[in-house]
């Protein structure tokens, strides 16, 4: 098993890409912490529980860890909890993310602030909470889920594109800071992946998008999870500061 004995935390792992990543890391032998956010409108705790149950099928340990990634104290608490329940975190995957799409003229400042807070500052909060432990132990992986939109821009997504491009700047800078300490820092930039996030896109718009993808199809969460599992493995030990596109050829 490529990740036997490692401990991973995946943020926003109650569904979608985060859940697929947690399950893939578990299937590769890692113990996993399923981070989720407590939201009034849906039972993320139950969904996170189901992901943890499915992870345990691979004979690894799995715990759920509730925290809003924008809440620094809660993230610090969760990192200590995982360290006590499982082991110190070797692999951090920043997957929690949201969209609040509007053209710039109509974009409410609160929607700029919240998207930057979750997608970018959330990634910082988690990386900040784990990086010292990783460098102390001379091994670590920090992998952030960016987006093709960081590379191309997208109509109505100035906030989202800025947050995802910010993650790339953070990734490359942190990669330089910790390269000598056995810690790699990389990003995965998915194209259009079939999850709730993209199911919110109107059907006619989605049809046009698919038409523009050389592979003529959206990707599955498992396609992103495979890229993350590779970057987390020892096979990728000499890869750092990289942005790995998983986009069916949409942007090359």
190, 213, 227, 229: residue in contact with ligand NAD (rule CB under 6 A): 190
Bridging pattern class, strands 62-66 and 91-94: unpaired
Please enumerate in sequence order all residues whose Cβ is within 8 A of that of 77, keeping only pairs 6 or more positions apart, or say none.
Answer: 67
Is residue 136 within 8 A of residue 182, CB to CB? The reply is no
The reply to whether 30 sits near ligand NAD by the rule CB under 6 A is no
Nearer to ligand NAD, 112 or 192 (CB): 192
Copy the structure tokens of residue 224: 């992103």
Q: Catalogue the active-site residues.
A: 160
Sheet holding 183-190, edge to edge: 62-66, 31-36, 7-10, 91-94, 140-145, 183-190, 243-246
**Number of Cβ within a 10 Å radius of residue 52:** 24
> Three-class SS of residue 40?
coil
Nearer to ligand NAD, 96 or 231 (CB): 96
The reply to whether 12 sits near ligand NAD by the rule CB under 6 A is yes
Is residue 228 within 8 A of residue 24, CB to CB? The reply is yes
Beta bridge partners of 144: 94, 187
127, 185, 193, 227: residue in contact with ligand NAD (rule CB under 6 A): 193
Angle between helix 16-27 and 221-232 (nearest 10): 50
- The residue behind tokens 């709730």 is 196
Nearer to ligand NAD, 192 or 230 (CB): 192
Nearer to ligand NAD, 16 or 140 (CB): 16
Bridging pattern class, strands 91-94 and 31-36: unpaired
Nearer to ligand NAD, 12 or 166 (CB): 12
The reply to whether 18 sits near ligand NAD by the rule CB under 6 A is yes
**Contact letters for ligand NAD, residues 121-160 (x by CB under 6 A):** -x----------------------x-x-------------
The reply to whether 250 sits near ligand NAD by the rule CB under 6 A is no
116, 197, 206, 209: residue in contact with ligand NAD (rule CB under 6 A): 197
**Contact letters for ligand NAD, residues 61-90 (x by CB under 6 A):** -------xxx--------------------
List contacts with ligand NAD (CB under 6 A). Answer: 11-12, 14-18, 35-37, 44, 68-70, 95-98, 118, 122, 145, 147, 190, 192-193, 195-198
């Amino acid at each position: 098993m490529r990740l036997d004995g490692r401990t991973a935390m995946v943020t926003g792992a109650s569904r979608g890409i985060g859940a697929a990543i947690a399950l893939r890391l578990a299937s590769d032998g890692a113990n996993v912490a399923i981070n989720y956010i407590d939201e009034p409108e849906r039972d993320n705790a139950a969904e996170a529980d189901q992901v943890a149950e499915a992870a345990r099928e691979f004979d690894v340990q799995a715990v759920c860890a509730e925290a809003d990634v924008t809440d620094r104290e809660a993230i610090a608490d969760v990192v200590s909890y995982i360290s006590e329940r499982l082991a110190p975190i070797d692999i951090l995957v920043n997957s929690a993310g949201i969209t609040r799409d509007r053209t710039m003229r109509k974009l409410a400042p609160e929607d700029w602030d919240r998207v930057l807070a979750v997608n970018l500052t959330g990634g910082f909060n988690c990386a900040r909470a784990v990086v010292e432990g990783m460098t102390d132990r001379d091994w670590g992986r920090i992998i952030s889920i960016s987006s093709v939109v960081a590379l191309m821009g997208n109509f109505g997504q100035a906030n989202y594109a800025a947050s995802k491009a910010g993650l790339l700047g953070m990734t490359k800078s942190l990669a330089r800071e910790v390269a000598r300490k056995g810690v790699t820092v990389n990003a995965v930039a998915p194209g259009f992946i079939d999850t709730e996030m993209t199911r919110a896109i109107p059907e006619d718009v989605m049809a046009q998008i698919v038409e523009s993808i050389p592979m003529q199809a959206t990707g599955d969460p498992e396609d992103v999870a495979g890229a993350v599992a590779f970057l987390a493995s020892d096979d990728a030990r000499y890869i750092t500061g990289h942005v790995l596109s998983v986009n069916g050829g949409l942007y090359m």
